[in-house]
Amino acid sequence: MPDRPPDKTRLRQEMRRRRQALGRSIQQAAAEAATNQITRLPHWPGARRIALYLANDGEVDTGPMSGLCRSSGKQLFLPVIDDQNLLAFARWIEGGELVANRYGIPEPALDSPRCPTAELDILVMPLVAWDRQGGRLGMGGGFYDRALAGIRGPLLVGLAHSVQEVAQVPREDWDIPLDFVVTESALHRCQGNN
């Protein structure tokens, strides 16, 4: 009988512990190394609109990546949660006002220009666990999966620490697979995608 994928709740707890246990110097080195890896994406040279996230809870810091994007002339967007609990992407201007959402995560101000998800070139997503088939376990809110349902367009890139890799992420029918995963040590093309 094949191994059964781990329970999402237990896996989420274990992986969050793993990434939170990484020391500050390891976190910083991972953020810088992942920034170097993202430039190896086949879509990187022509990408103009890139969505990132602001790190929380031990996620890979996107600070170095945002600096590289800005110096490369790319437009940056951050996820925002609207009144209907849906994820949208707002323009992130350097030095622009950020306001904490109901989860305490900073977002661009309400009047920031939005980019439809399908018009993003690269969408970099945080994750709790990942696998080489493109499986992504997030924090459990389903925000990214709902935002990506039924659309084509952006290259979907998970940003993670290597220690967050698992053999198989438990999946539901509505889970959207990743195209690539970027870690501090490699750029992984997910099997079956692209």
Where on the phi/psi map is residue 73: left (φ > 0), alpha (ψ -120 to 50), or beta? Answer: left
Query: What local confidence, expressed as pLDDT, does residue 6 receive?
Result: 58
155 contacts 193 by C-beta, under 8 angstroms: no
Instruction: Using alpha carbons only, give the angle 177, 7, 179 rounded to the nearest 5 degrees.
Output: 10
Nearest to 142 by CA among 154, 159, 125: 125
The model carries a pTM of 0.89
Query: What local confidence, expressed as pLDDT, does residue 192 receive?
Result: 59
Burial 58-68 (b: 16+ CB within 10 A, else e): bbbbbebbbeb
13 contacts 20 by C-beta, under 8 angstroms: no
Query: What local confidence, expressed as pLDDT, does residue 158 receive?
Result: 95
pLDDT in tens, 90-115: 999 988 889 998 888 899 988 899 99
* Token pair listed for 118: 């399908």
Long-range contacts of 98-101 (CB under 8 A, 24+ apart): 98/54
pLDDT in tens, 126-178: 999 899 999 888 877 778 888 888 888 899 999 999 989 988 888 877 888 99
pLDDT in tens, 25-78: 888 999 999 999 999 999 999 999 999 999 888 889 999 999 999 999 999 999
Q: What percent of the chain has pLDDT over 70?
A: 95
Is residue 125 scored above 50 in pLDDT?
yes
Query: What local confidence, expressed as pLDDT, does residue 7 receive?
Result: 83
The residues, any chain, with a CB within 8 Å of residue 173's CB and separated by 6 or more, are none
Domains and CATH numbers, the chain: 8-189 (3.40.50.10420)
What's the rounded Cα separation, in Å, for the pair 63 and 71? Answer: 12
Query: What local confidence, expressed as pLDDT, does residue 154 receive?
Result: 95
